[in-house]
Structure 1
Amino acid sequence: MRKFGAYSLFTLCLTSGLSYAETTPLAVVTQYMQAWNQHDSHKAGTYFADKVSYYDASVGEPVVGKQQATQQVVKTFVDAVPDLRWVMTSKPVYNGDTIAFQWRFTGTNDGAWAGTPATHKKISFDGVSFIKVSQGKITYQGDYYDSKKLSDQLK
């Protein structure tokens, strides 16, 4: 009985540790980016907290709310660049529950973007994101990139 009790306790601790490991900020961000790269805006949106604040520096005003961020940011990008690839290009930096990293976004503009018809041009631009994760959900994302370079590529 003691062996079984010790084994059960060990298993419980191990599986609890695995559950915790799966919700680290890096794990959440990695899975979130995979959803973007699978072109699944709905799945990407499941990583947002209900009251997420998504700040895109090129827009200047944050989009607040899970549904709004999913539709107005993620879906907009996925629809405009259906072959998109979003990858980390630097080792992430941590500050508690916040992760920051450099990235590259590439693809072809084959869908309408913010009311502008598709240009069918390839795009590639670099940026930085700051993402705050709380209880396994993204509560804040701030994206900073050269929007002029992106705009020039779409012309």
Structure 2
Amino acid sequence: MKSMKLAVISLALFSHFALADVSPLSVVKDYMSAWNAHDPAKAAQYLSSDVVYYDAASGAPVKGKNNAEKEVIGAFIKAVPDLTWKMTSKPVYDHDTIAFRWEFSGKNSGEWAGSPATHNQIKFEGVSYITVNNGKITWQGDYYDSKKLDEELKPQAK
């Protein structure tokens, strides 16, 4: 019985230290890789169950892992199935928060926010602030040029 308790305590400590060894930057890079693999479920695995995703263009935060997977990650990937999201600056971080500039690009070949695909190439820049606790993203704020994106999504005159 004593050895069983020791094994449980050891496992709990090992699990805690394993999560502690995962740097917030590596979590963010893996999260972005999952986006670039066009896999919403894989990207969502990096989110905490109570994550808050704030998109400055919409102004209303999306709360919860399932909502973020469906309403943010899944929606973007559906709208731009060949998307590329890449860091364009060296990330700045302080303990649990990472900030970086990025570029998002691809072809709008799927529905976007209720509008049909335009088949336009899009490319816009922004900044993300992401907080990571215990190996999971707990908050993400994205700030970008939504006016430029809106222009790129307009149907082209024929």
TM-score using structure 2 length: 0.85
In structure 2, the gaps of 5 or more residues are: 1-13
Across the aligned residues of Structure 1 and Structure 2, the Cα RMSD in angstroms comes to 1.5
Any gaps of 5 or more consecutive residues in structure 1?
Answer: 1-14
Paired residue total? 140
Say yes or no: does 1:54 pair with 2:47.
no
Match of 1:5 in 2: none
**TM-score, structure 1 as length reference:** 0.87
Residue 32 of structure 2 is matched in structure 1 by 33
In the other structure, the counterpart of 1:129 is 128
**What amino acid is the match of 1:111?**
G
- Cα shift at 1:19: 3.8
Match of 2:67 in 1: 68
Q: 8 Å contact 2:90–2:100 — kept in the other structure?
A: yes
Q: How far apart are 1:96 and its partner, in Å?
A: 1.4
Query: How is 1:1-155 mapped onto 2 (pairs within 5 angstroms)?
Result: 19=18, 23-155=22-154
Q: CA deviation at 1:95?
A: 1.6
Percent identity of equivalent pairs? 59
Q: Provide the rounded CA distance (Å) in 1 between the counterparts of 2:83 and 2:62.
A: 21
The amino acid of 1:57's aligned partner reads A
Taking the aligned partners of 1:71 and 1:42, their CA distance within structure 2 comes to 9
Flag as ranges the 4+ runs of structure 1 deviating above 3 A: 18-22
